[in-house]
Amino acid sequence: MPELPEAETIARDLDGALHGAVVRSVRVDRADVLRGTTARALGTRLRGATIGGVSRRAKSVVFTFTGGDRIVVTPRFTGALLLDGAPDDAYTCLRITLADDRLLRYHDVRRLGTVTLLAHAAFDAWSGALGPEPLDPTLTAERFSGILRGSRRAVKSILMDQRRLAGVGNIYANEACWLAGIRPARRGSSLRLAECLALLLHLRAVLSASIAARGTTFRDFRDAYGARGAFATQLQAYGRGGEACRRCGATLRTTHALAGRQTVWCPDRECQR
């Protein structure tokens, strides 16, 4: 599932390529991915509109059009926004043809992702319900500490709660906890201020490193041009259960007890406590 680095990679690709582009036509092949609109209404609203920019919020890619409309694309497990390339009729859900003949497709094998049309006020309400962005410099260590220490839930669960912190999913929550030496199952309320600061610094570092590597691809994630992300080779914990910890040598353990998602940690209390 694309998380912050993958969505950021797509948004940067498309912002550079599509800023100022004009929509000529919209074709919806799989209307079940649409939210807040119908296929006909979406085509009417977007036809002739200019793309003012493409950005990211949490795990979603946001298209801003002149006039205030926004399209929020949340790819989830198998969704991809692809610019040009050969059309894939089997899994293409939405096609936006631009005035210069380029084609932007939303491709989704399992069709669990969504494409949502939001007017200005509705977008503000959607964004306002999300937590702060971890890479936002206005997110201070004190505020981050309050998010964690104000809850008795597992640290990893808090990091993944989009209402508390936007954009972090399973991969990077695992990585940040391992890098900071904090067990994912520890209660947030048990953390010391210094541990919260370390976790924030490591979370920002791993997210930034993944963005630089254009995200993590195990199977489905592709950037806007169909290329794979390269960060999987740098993962220290996620996906490495049963292998040696690269910090202490102990065998990393795996559980699905936290929200049914894969959690990997080092059992050595001196390594990850």
Task: Answer yes or no: are the C-beta atoms of 96 and 65 closer than 8 Å.
Answer: no
Annotated catalytic residue, options 57, 59, 105, 153? 59
Annotated catalytic residue, options 2, 5, 75, 134? 2
Q: Can you tell me which residue has the tokens 């946001």?
A: 62
Q: Is 2 a catalytic residue?
A: yes
Q: How many Å apart are CA 230 and CA 216, to the nearest integer? A: 6
Q: Is 3 a catalytic residue?
A: yes
- The helix (run of H) or strand (run of E) holding residue 177 is helix 170-180
Measured N-to-C along each axis, helices 4-18 and 193-212 cross at an angle, to the nearest 10 degrees, of 40
Annotated catalytic residue, options 3, 8, 175, 195? 3
Q: Rounded to whole angstroms, what are the CA distances from 219 to 2, 168, 174?
A: 11, 19, 19
Task: Answer yes or no: are the C-beta atoms of 54 and 14 closer than 8 Å.
Answer: yes
Read off the amino acid at residue 228: R
Catalytic residues: 2-3, 59, 261
